[in-house]
Chain A
Amino acid sequence: MNKLILIVVMMGIVTYLPRMLPMALLTNLKLSPYLKSFFIYVPYAVLGALIFPGILSSTSDTFSALVGGTVAVILALLRQNVMVVILGSIIAVYLFSVIY
């Protein structure tokens, strides 16, 4: 039990350090224009990489995941609120898996 707690605490430490250090070191630091624009692009790049291909294995089968993803894209293009996008996508996957 103590060994498990120690493992969890170590997992916590190695997870926390990469979260904490850049903020502690880079805030209030003057970065070059290149790095500044790099960090502006990071969220969009990371979202792209997080979505695909991970989304394909997010439900019980690839097809229902594609249906859910497509519905999400359509709702997002229609400028729906994020909550609507999420619920619409869940419902689409659910209906798809019930029907097929």
Chain B
Amino acid sequence: MESNTTLNTLEKKEFFLYNVASGIKAGVPIAVGYIPIAIAFGLLAKSLGIPNIISVLMSIIVFAGASQFVGVKLIALGAAPLEIIMTTFILNFRHFLMSSSLSQRIESGTSKKLLNILTFGITDETFSVASLQEEAKLNPYFLLGLNFSAYLSWVLGTCIGVFLAGGLPDAIKSSMGIALYAMFIGLLVPAFKGSKNIFLVSMAAVFINSLLYWSPLFKFLSTGWSIIISTMLAAGMGSYFFPQGGKKDE
């Protein structure tokens, strides 16, 4: 009885470590994309005269790329705090959709406390990698490992940018701007082969987002809102016309 329990806890521990490790590994492509961007963020903040500790604190507390770039620019311009906070909220509101979507994939029985920690790590990139896993249900410790890779590289990159400055030559820095987009493509395109519906939904989102971006009529929309609107319309049309869903029918 006793040895049985020990074995059980041992297996549990191994399973836990296995999941964390595979999460960390799945996060490596994100880290590759995050580090140069975080360095660029640190450099920008520094050039704008933002105190180093504030830039690093922002990466630790906010952990959301685009909004941080905008945030330090607004701070440097002396914008009203309320404006900075509202802009951040609007830019990051799309995570609401991602969190809702993930809530349907996470293993049931995951504690509320763990969920509250995991959701802090939802970014465009961690969400994309997590969502495009083959498994129908996502292990929470896998997500923990994935978020860890992303978070650590983001904070470390910011520190490098702020404290070491200088850094990479321009040609390399600018080439690395493509990294996260390449990752999105690397995740998305293989899913097209499995399902025509998925392809159509993605293309609808591309089309709507382009329309919002280039049409003078929608100039007032921020990138954050355009992404939310495109996603909701495209996913809404998908579930209306092809209610079976993409591949995971459960």
What residues of chain B lie closer than 8 Å to A72, measured between beta carbons? 178, 181-182, 185-186
Interface residues in B227-242 (C-beta closer than 8 Å to A): 227, 230-232, 234-236, 238-240, 242
* Contact A14-B99, Cβ < 8 Å, known A41-B245, A48-B234, A85-B186: no
Most B CB within 10 A of own CB, among A22, A23, A26: A23
What residues of chain B lie closer than 8 Å to A25, measured between beta carbons? 103
The size of the chain B interface, using a CB distance under 8 A, is 102
> Measured between C-beta atoms, what is the minimum distance from B83 to chain A in Å?
10
A-B contact pairs, 15 of them (CB 8 A): A11-B61, A12-B62, A18-B93, A19-B96, A19-B98, A19-B122, A20-B120, A41-B197, A44-B201, A44-B202, A48-B205, A82-B186, A86-B32, A86-B33, A90-B175
Question: Do residues B186 and A77 form an inter-chain contact, with CB atoms below 8 A?
Answer: no
What residues of chain B lie closer than 8 Å to A47, measured between beta carbons? 128, 184, 187-188, 202, 205
Compute how far the CA of A40 lies from the CA of B105 in the bound complex, rounded to whole angstroms.
9
Q: Taking CB as reference atom, which chain A residue is nearest B103?
A: A26
Compute how far the CA of A43 lies from the CA of B203 in the bound complex, rounded to whole angstroms.
13
Question: Do residues B177 and A49 form an inter-chain contact, with CB atoms below 8 A?
Answer: no
Partner of A45, one of B100, B106, B112, B202: B202
Q: Is the interface of B mostly helix, strand, loop or mixed?
A: helix
Q: Give 1 or 0 for each of B202-221: 1 = CB within 8 Å of chain A CB.
A: 11111011100110000000
Question: Do residues B186 and A23 form an inter-chain contact, with CB atoms below 8 A?
Answer: no
What residues of chain A lie closer than 8 Å to B174, measured between beta carbons? 59-60, 64, 93, 97
Q: Taking CB as reference atom, which chain A residue is nearest B188?
A: A47
What residues of chain B lie closer than 8 Å to A3, measured between beta carbons? 81
What residues of chain B lie closer than 8 Å to A22, measured between beta carbons? 96-97, 99-100, 103
Q: Taking CB as reference atom, which chain B residue is nearest A27?
A: B103
Residue B92, interface by CB 8 Å: yes
Question: Do residues B81 and A27 form an inter-chain contact, with CB atoms below 8 A?
Answer: no
Partner of B57, one of A8, A29, A33, A98: A8
Question: Do residues A85 and B183 form an inter-chain contact, with CB atoms below 8 A?
Answer: yes
Interface residues in A41-56 (C-beta closer than 8 Å to B): 41-55
Question: Do residues A21 and B177 form an inter-chain contact, with CB atoms below 8 A?
Answer: no
What residues of chain A lie closer than 8 Å to B188, measured between beta carbons? 44, 47-48, 51, 76
* Contact A8-B198, Cβ < 8 Å, known A18-B93, A45-B204, A85-B182: no
Compute how far the CA of A55 lies from the CA of B116 in the bound complex, rounded to whole angstroms.
31
Compute how far the CA of A8 lies from the CA of B97 in the bound complex, rounded to whole angstroms.
23
What residues of chain A lie closer than 8 Å to B57, measured between beta carbons? 5, 8
Partner of A77, one of B98, B189, B223, B248: B189
What residues of chain B lie closer than 8 Å to A54, measured between beta carbons? 181, 223
Compute how far the CA of A60 lies from the CA of B248 in the bound complex, rounded to whole angstroms.
39
Question: Do residues A43 and B63 form an inter-chain contact, with CB atoms below 8 A?
Answer: no
> Measured between C-beta atoms, what is the minimum distance from A41 to chain B in Å?
4
Q: Taking CB as reference atom, which chain B residue is nearest A93?
A: B175
